[in-house]
Amino acid sequence: MGSRLEEKSKLVRKRIEGHTFDDEKGDEYEGSKFGGFTEYFRRKKIKLQNLDAQLRAQSADKPQIFKGVVCHINGYTQPSLNDLHALIVQHGGGFIQYLDGKTMVTHIIASNLTPKKKEEFKRYRMVKPAWIVDSVNAGKLLPWDAYRVVDEGVGQKVLGFDNGQVVSQVNKRTQGYKEQTDASWYTSQLKGEHSQMPGTSRKQPSFTQTLTPGEDIEDDEKYPAPEITSSIERAFDQDGMDDGQSSPQKLQQPRKLPATNTLIETPPPTSPPLAPIQDERAYPGEATGADATKLADGNASRLRPREGSQEPDYSMAIVRDSEKLNALSPSRLASMTAEEHNALLLSDPRIRKSTVVHPDFLEQYYRESRLHHLSTWKAELKSQLQALAAEKSSSQKTKLKKLPGQRRYIMHVDFDSFFAAVSLKKYPQYKDKPAVVAHGGGSGSEIASCNYPARKFGVSNGMWMKRAQDLYPELKILPYDFPGYEEASRKFYDAIVATGGTVQSVSIDEALVDISAICFAESGTDGVKRYEGAVHREQRKADLVAQQLRDEVLEKTGCAVSVGIGGNILQAKIALRKAKPAGQYHLKPEEVLDFIGKLEVEKLPGVAWSIGGKLEEIGIKLVSDIREVSKEKLINALGPKTGEKMWDYSRGIDRTDVGDQVIRKSVSAEVNWGVRFENQEQVDEFMLGLCGELHKRLVKERVKGKQLTMKVMRRAADAPRDPPKHLGHGKCDTYNKSLQLGVATNDTAVITKEAIGMMKTFNISPGELRGIGMQMQKLDPIKFGTEGTDVGSQLKLQFKVGQSSKTAPVNQNTVEAERAPEDPIQDVVTPEKQRVADANKPSVPVRPVNHSTPTKKALNMLGTQFVLPTQVDPSVLAELPADIRAKLARHVRPAGQSAPVPAAVNNHEKTSWSPSRAQSPARAFALPNQSQLDPSILEALPEDVRAEILGFYKSPGNRKRGEQALLPQSPRKLRTLPPIKQPVKRKRGGGLFAGRARSNLHSGDNSTLTQSNFVARPLAPKHLQEDGAATTTDTEAEPDELDAEFLAALPEDLRKEVLDQQRQARLQRTGGIDLSLHQRPKARKKKACDEEAPLDRLLQIPPRPSRPTFTMRKLTELPDLRVAVKAWYHEFSDEGPYEEDVAALVKYLRDVVHDERDMTKAVAVVKWLAWLVEEGDEDVSEKVRVAWARGVETVEQGVQSAVEERGLGTVNVG
Amino acid sequence: MSTEATTLRVIIAAFTDFLTVAIHTILYERAIYPPTSFLSARKYNLSVRQNRHPKVCEWINDAVSAVETELLKGVVGRVAIVIYTKDNHPVERFMLDVSRFPTVALADLDTPLERTAANGDRLPILPRIDMEEQFRATLSRLASCSSTLKPLPEGCVFNIAVELKQDGQPPLNHPQPWMPVQSAKGDAVGGQLQKKAVPVRSIAAGELLLECWIEEADGAS
């Protein structure tokens, strides 16, 4: 050190160390004088030091680790300033409350600094409060630089010491309150149930983990406890360091452990193979008998790493023993990038096998995960039940209608300690002994189920094994027996369904059954009226049903079930409590209130310590207490939903109904174990797999989703690369991102594409990834069409793929054809005859679809992009509604004898886009006036059909149908639209919709791809085509004829427009000038007129009579007039106005009054003139003045008379 | 120039807006109702007064919509806001000459209008900004009319009248919002009523041509 920092702080330190306090007789205890603030303050500081000195003297037993340290605390810290102060002083440090200068102290403690202060204090020792806490915990002064508040930036490598070597480390830390909160001492106290001690590494024995949630309070009370244990552990830690696996991050990240507290709560993703269970059972005694202190005392070396129930057998040992990792120097390890680290890790085949890089990972992952197993099982069960219920309700014709005030009989059937009971069947010898089902005897194993003898000892489900073994060391541990569970569950449900009530599965081992109907049948009532006998009969029947059910299940499975019967689900659940074990209880309506009232609130279903705690705050302990409280107060305390629910529950009311299906809101697939990537390709590949999994689940749930949410867990910057749990995710930052898909989908490709895109936006290096989850929300159920094709939602593919939609998927074949893998372009270029001939295939070949090449995109000049095939599968046709069939029938008839489409047609279609198409032989099939037609349709048609279609154009009766085709239709209907919209286009001569069609066309023209549209437009008729007519062949004659006929049939104005359009198109092609740009405003204008007044064009207003003007210069505006009048006056100021001039002015002003009707202007001019004359030059002669005055008078009179002539009375012009 | 197609209906709607504001302004300036019953409002970017009594507002709105109906028929020559004394003698008339509004057939009310100048340019039918400026000017003139007009006697009332064009058919159908009267000329009260005209302003915004003046009964009091 020895820096400038030292000088002053050394002085201060010495002063503090030398500071003694004997009694309150020093001068600092004298009263301060008036105005002597400095004196007062000096004394105050001395007095504060007195206090410190006293405190230090009192705690001489504490290790004086902070000797030589003088601290100041800046800002909010955790622990608080007081606590830190006490800690520092008690451990021999100096503390300065008031910082007179930055160099006064050796360290300044702060959690966070403002940017300004960061700059200001950059060169000082800014330390996080954790330094104090950890140092105290460690019992020695830890290097402060691991706790820097201000550092050199994240990218800067820093030098560090490790075992005497200088190592370069990547400087990484997180900042901010979140970290502080997560890692803070208080938080760790709150989460104390799993608290692991600061400074522990992954190999640290963590016996405190086994504390159950209930114990965190005790934990709080004996606050120093963690310190004690931690110092012991630290001691182990030091010992254990030597075995080669101490990580360099250790020094660097001494505080990482509190964070892992949160992580441990995440559900374990995998279940280990059964083998390790056996392993662990081999030495149960080691863990069972030991309690924390005992272990700490003697068996330290025998402590095993946490044997999590979820951890695979190749646990830490692999990582620990991996020579590859060990071979590397710690410094090397530290300097690797995350990817390199992972690559190294994955280079061990055993590890690789269990990470996402392994191709079978996902499959294996989901196969082995216990939670996954159970949840999918349940989902299956539910869907099975649903199917069963649907079957039943349809066969039972009427589901019992629920009447208000009706009595209900709900059974809640539940296995007694399901897992335990089933597992015990294999080990009957343990039946009467306390036994639990768990993954293993390891202290960290969680108890999945325990039998009743075990419960007597206080063992309960979900308890950590350690705690259970504390309660009863001889506890028998049974392995899972999944096949057994499944079988038992199946039998159980068979029996339940056999009762004939409405079944709702709660989980694999419990179910709700509504047997009201059965009971009413017994009593012969409707369940509303109250006959003494009937109610009794019903209740008896309910009991009987329950008894039979229990007997049956016991007989079939060998396990006891309990049944609670009540008037609703709540009552049934509560009754079940009393029924257990192996009994049944009927909660009669009259005893409901008493029964529930006596319960503690936390006994209510759905109420646990969190709600219970809140209720206790407002003085509620028993359910009956809730009834004393107003609903509002409950809602205030618990929120609107829960509050109301509690209010209802306290009165035995439960509105949910058996069989109410909770609608699934989301489907997700998530992996956060074993996620280790070396490079981006692996990520993408994995995403594909994960999306596939999501797809599978979506399909299973028969839903599609519209919103995709991605959750990504990224290794927290300060977390070690190898988390405490083998291949677990460790401490992570979690990021979420959502995406609206617009159209519901469950397509793997779409999801994958979006997912990979989203992943890229996170911009997380592959090596830092620790978990990926995909979730699909906003689910739409898939409806299955008659042929099993999905018609539930919009068919996005067809819709997007512009031209292919023309194939109008009427039947499944069509859909298949569209999805056919072969490139549709080839279909066009080399058409297969049989393909067209085959009636099951769409007659219209799939058009090339390539959005990136707009030149290939034919102009869709029709009102809709949907076209119906002219050749229709008769079987499909038969299923269509009559009206649609009728429309289709017209086209189906010729389809029978349809000739194959000549290849030339398609050739033509292709070549017609090129400028040279005029010379193309394919022009044989050039169609008339195609600018109005979709060429692809007509060309694909057999000749006779085409003729018929063209015939349509001429038949007047066709218009109506054409219009109909333009009406907005639901997407589903679009699939069966009749193919008759060309007529509309051509017949747009009349009717409202015709105008729309045209406007459609205009909007098409407005696209930026105008050029291509016009290029794609088929050949213009010959007689309009001066330039291209050179190579006209005979075959063109027909189109021309048709064209002429058609044109003749059009109204005059339309014909003109059609021709105009063609000319324009031709110019487009030949000249390449985008005329449409110039045309556009006009077109739009016309459109507007059409819409507003279909019959009229613009109304030309007849020209207005021109305004009267003054003088030769045709003045009309008042300022001009004034100027003119002024000029006139000045001109004639020496001789007086001429009569004619005055008369001219009068005439003009009369005209203004009469014709322009602007009396104001006339009056203003008069007034102006009068003013001019009045204010005129003094030197004018009297004669002139009089002449002017007379002139003014004349003008005034003229205006006056003009005004009077209009009948306006006199006007004040003076 | 406004982008929307200007039809006669649009022009007349613009006028009736103005008429409503003008009536409120006159009522305020001539103190027909107590000044405290008026709110300050903003129209045409000008601070104007609006009576806040719902009945008054309703009456004015009804009257204006009746005027609008007649305007759409194209038979109105002038619109007058007449102020009477307690004993029903007219003292002031605020005149709006609307006879030069474009006339179109009833069916063409919603047909966009077009006027082309001699050189073929299209002229604006209803230049909004210009129109609003002129309305603003007219309203501010109206607002200062009190300085030139004689104070009104106590207890005056007001009414709205329309003068039809020469060939205009009076609206005689049921329900009858208008009361037909004979031409004011040669009034029963001693022949030609002596009156004085105070020009206010003319408005010429595209096709909206309007002249506004005040007639004051001369020597009535």
Indicate if the pLDDT at residue A712 is higher than 80.
Answer: yes
- Please tell me the total count of domains within chain B: 1
Confidence grade of residue A788 (pLDDT, cut at 50, 70, 90): very low
Block residue for tokens 């709110």: B39
Indicate if the pLDDT at residue A1089 is higher than 80.
Answer: no
State which residues form the domain around B34. Answer: 8-217
- In this prediction, residues A582-591 reach a mean pLDDT of 82
Residues in chain B: 221
**What is each CA distance from A437 to A415, A451, A463, B10, in whole angstroms?**
15, 9, 11, 84
Confidence grade of residue A221 (pLDDT, cut at 50, 70, 90): very low
The alpha carbon of residue A277 and the mean position of all alpha carbons in its chain are separated, in whole angstroms, by: 40
Tokens of A1196: 């005034």
| Contact flag A1156-B202 (C-beta cutoff 8 Å) | yes
- In this prediction, residues A892-913 reach a mean pLDDT of 43
For residue A1210, the chain B residues in CB contact (below 8 A) are: 194-197, 218
pLDDT in tens, A440-477: 666 667 777 787 778 778 777 777 777 777 777 777 78
Q: Is B186 an interface residue toward A (CB < 8 Å)?
A: no
Q: Is B122 an interface residue toward A (CB < 8 Å)?
A: no
What is d(CA B107, CA B95) in angstroms, rounded to the nearest whole number? 29
pTM: 0.34
Closest among A689, A746, A670, A777 to A372, alpha carbons compared: A670
Inside any domain, residue B13: yes
Least confident of A785-789, A1049-1053, B38-42: A785-789
Q: Rounded to the nearest 10 degrees, what angle do helices A631-638 and A609-617 cross at?
A: 130
Alpha-carbon distance B216 to nearest alpha carbon in chain A (angstroms)? 9
Question: What confidence score (pLDDT) does residue A1203 get?
Answer: 80
For residue A1211, the chain B residues in CB contact (below 8 A) are: 196-199
Block residue for tokens 């017609």: A912
| Contact flag B209-A1098 (C-beta cutoff 8 Å) | no
Contacts across the A-B interface (CB distance below 8 Å): 82
Residues in chain A: 1214
Q: Where are the alpha helices (DSSP H) in B74-210?
A: 128-143
- B8, closest residue in chain A (CA to CA): A1099
Indicate if the pLDDT at residue A483 is higher than 60.
Answer: yes
| Contact flag B195-A1209 (C-beta cutoff 8 Å) | yes
- Chain A interface residues facing chain B, Cβ-Cβ under 8 Å? 1088-1089, 1092-1093, 1096, 1098-1101, 1103, 1156-1161, 1163, 1203, 1207-1212
Alpha-carbon distance A1163 to nearest alpha carbon in chain B (angstroms)? 8
pLDDT in tens, A56-106: 888 878 888 888 888 888 888 888 888 888 888 888 888 888 888 878 888
Least confident of A209-213, A386-390, A730-734: A209-213
Q: Which residues of A are catalytic?
A: 510
Alpha-carbon distance A915 to nearest alpha carbon in chain B (angstroms)? 40
Question: What confidence score (pLDDT) does residue A1163 get?
Answer: 83
| Contact flag A1093-B110 (C-beta cutoff 8 Å) | yes
Q: Is B207 an interface residue toward A (CB < 8 Å)?
A: yes
Tokens of A652: 């035995």
Q: Which of A1098, A1203, A1210 sits opposite B218 (nearest CB)?
A: A1210
pLDDT in tens, A505-539: 777 778 888 888 777 777 776 666 666 677 788 88
Indicate if the pLDDT at residue A363 is higher than 60.
Answer: yes
Question: What confidence score (pLDDT) does residue A1004 get?
Answer: 39
Q: Which of B193, B194, B199 sits opposite A1159 (nearest CB)?
A: B199
Question: What confidence score (pLDDT) does residue A37 get?
Answer: 86
This complex has an ipTM of 0.81
Indicate if the pLDDT at residue A237 is higher than 80.
Answer: no
| A510 among annotated binding-site residues | yes
Inside any domain, residue B128: yes
**What is each CA distance from A341 to A335, A346, A718, in whole angstroms?**
9, 9, 15
| A509 among annotated binding-site residues | yes
User: Residues with Cβ < 8 Å from A558, sequence gap 6 or more?
Assistant: A425
* Percent share of chain B, pLDDT over 90: 3
- Helix (H) or strand (E) run with residue A1060 in it: helix A1052-1071
- A1088, closest residue in chain B (CA to CA): B5
Q: Which of A1096, A1099, A1208 sits opposite B213 (nearest CB)?
A: A1208
- Helix (H) or strand (E) run with residue A983 in it: helix A982-986
For residue B185, the chain A residues in CB contact (below 8 A) are: 1207
CATH number at residue B91: 3.30.900.10
Inside any domain, residue B163: yes
Inside any domain, residue B115: yes
For residue B102, the chain A residues in CB contact (below 8 A) are: 1101
Phi then psi for residue A980, to 5 deg, are: -120, 60
Rounded mean pLDDT of chain A?
A: 65
Q: Which of A1089, A1098, A1210 sits opposite B197 (nearest CB)?
A: A1210
Tokens of A1046: 């058609």
Contact status, residue A141 vs residue A162, Cβ threshold 8 Å: no
- In this prediction, residues A944-961 reach a mean pLDDT of 56
| A1091 among annotated binding-site residues | no
Inside any domain, residue B156: yes
Q: Where are the alpha helices (DSSP H) in A191-304?
A: 216-221, 225-240, 249-252, 257-264, 274-282, 284-288, 292-297
* Cβ neighbourhood burial of B95 (10 Å; 0-12, 13-18, 19+): buried
pLDDT in tens, A907-934: 444 434 444 444 444 444 444 454 455 5
Least confident of A24-33, A342-351, B6-15: A342-351
Question: What confidence score (pLDDT) does residue A1025 get?
Answer: 42
Inside any domain, residue B3: no
Inside any domain, residue B171: yes
Contact status, residue B61 vs residue B167, Cβ threshold 8 Å: no
pLDDT in tens, A49-60: 888 888 888 887
- In this prediction, residues A347-356 reach a mean pLDDT of 68
Indicate if the pLDDT at residue A991 is higher than 50.
Answer: no
Alpha-carbon distance B41 to nearest alpha carbon in chain A (angstroms)? 27
Confidence grade of residue A159 (pLDDT, cut at 50, 70, 90): low
Alpha-carbon distance B104 to nearest alpha carbon in chain A (angstroms)? 9
Taking residue A1186's Cβ as centre, other Cβ atoms within 10 Å add up to 11
* Percent share of chain A, pLDDT over 70: 51
Least confident of A377-386, B58-67, B97-106: A377-386
Q: Which of A1089, A1096, A1160 sits opposite B108 (nearest CB)?
A: A1096
Inside any domain, residue B2: no
Question: What confidence score (pLDDT) does residue A302 get?
Answer: 39
